[in-house]
Structure 1
Amino acid sequence: MARVTVWATFCFTISLLIICIAAKAPGNGFGEDIEWKTLEDGLKEAKEVNKPLMLIIHKSWCGACKALKPKFAESEEIKKLSSSFLMVNVQDDDEPAGEKYSPDGAYIPRIFFLDPSGNVMKEFYNEDGNEKYKYYYPTPDNILKSMQKVLKEMPLERKTNEEL
């Protein structure tokens, strides 16, 4: 009887561990110490907590994506600000379909900021970049600038819902 109890406890513990590991979305090279969400979970949580979402669309084979990943992961400023966003990165076949996620083309990497309702906020883009590729960010400094702008221009909406 004791063997059965030990075996059942072991199986339960392993199952729980697998669930916990599976629940966290991978960093895919963008920093494992950031709390990443799947797009589905991020969109759902954004509505619940009234928080903006940052979405990175990239490919595993992309040279520009590979160049950005370590710079992004090493940025302490991005790590700090990431707690004010729901952070999502989608790679390869997980890229969401639709014009919504490619308003000026399907180049990669693309970084978007979504409002709590899941709408792409087109007014937040790399202002220092190429007008043809607004959502392409080659450096963490450009990303950080947009993150700060999103937080600066959205606080009233967040405060209103928090006070309710």
Structure 2
Amino acid sequence: MPFEEGLKASAETSKPLMLVIHKSWCGACKALKPNFAKDKGIAELGTKFIMVNVEDDEEPGDQKYAPDGGYIPRILFLNSKGDVQQDLINENGNANYKYYYPQTADIVLSMKKALETIKPAPPPKPDEL
């Protein structure tokens, strides 16, 4: 799903958005892709997220989607308002590349943490007359 559509779907459903940013030529991205696709934990938890996969020129240009640099691949979690949750990082990863996940088990851990910490936006209040 394109990024802008994902933001809209997240806002409409109040589901958190999981943004996977990668490049077609990237070796680390190519290594992660098959493991990501076959991981049962990611598949199960993925139903509770709006999953957005952006590649090459699809990457959003705003610096907020590269909070600690433009390395790839990186995985970000956003609330339904589209705010990057900068505290949701790879706890077992490199402190210089907080959103890089070489192991799917670490992705699953962050997905679980995201579901615990990202609360749905409250429904809008009806206008009072």
Q: TM-score, normalised by structure 2?
A: 0.91
Question: Which structure has the larger Rg?
Answer: 1
The one-letter amino acid paired with 2:87 is E
1:122 is aligned, of 52, 72, 86, to 86
**Per-residue displacement from partner, 1:22-67 (whole Å, max 9, x unpaired)?**
xxxxxxxxxxxxxxx2111110111111110000000000000000
Greater relative contact order (Cα < 8 A, sep 6+): 2
Distance 1:92 1:113, change over 3 A: same
Alignment correspondent of 2:39: 75
- Structure 1 residue identity aligned to 2:49: F
Higher helix share: 1
C-alpha separation between the residues in 2 aligned to 1:91 and 1:110? 11
SS at match of 2:64: helix
Structure-1 separation of matches of 2:76 and 2:121: 22
Please tell me whether residue 66 in structure 1 is matched to residue 40 in structure 2: no
Query: In structure 2, what residue type is equivalent to 1:158?
Result: P
The gaps in structure 2 that reach 5 residues or longer are: none
Residue 160 of structure 1, CA deviation? 5.0
Q: Does residue 133 of the first structure (1) align with residue 76 of the second (2)?
A: no
Write the distance in 2 (CA, Å) between the matches of 1:94 and 1:150.
24
Residue of 55, 60, 63 corresponding to 1:99: 63
Q: Partner residue of 2:5?
A: 41
Q: Decide whether the 8 Å contact of 2:10 with 2:16 is kept in 1.
A: yes
Alpha-carbon distance in 2 for matches of 1:69, 1:45? 24
Q: Which runs of 5+ in 1 are unaligned?
A: 1-36
Q: CA deviation at 1:158?
A: 2.7
The share of aligned pairs that are identical, in percent, is: 53
Runs of 4+ in 1 over 4 A off after TM superposition: none
Tell me how far apart the structure 2 counterparts of residues 160 and 117 of structure 1 sit (CA, whole Å): 11
Residues of 2 paired with 1:160 and 1:43: CA distance? 17
Q: Tell me whether 1:52 sits opposite 2:2 in the alignment.
A: no
Aligned length: 124
Aligned CA distance change for structure 1 residues 61 and 130 (closer, same or farther; 3 Å)? same
Aligned CA distance change for structure 1 residues 159 and 115 (closer, same or farther; 3 Å) = closer
CA RMSD, 1 decimal = 1.4
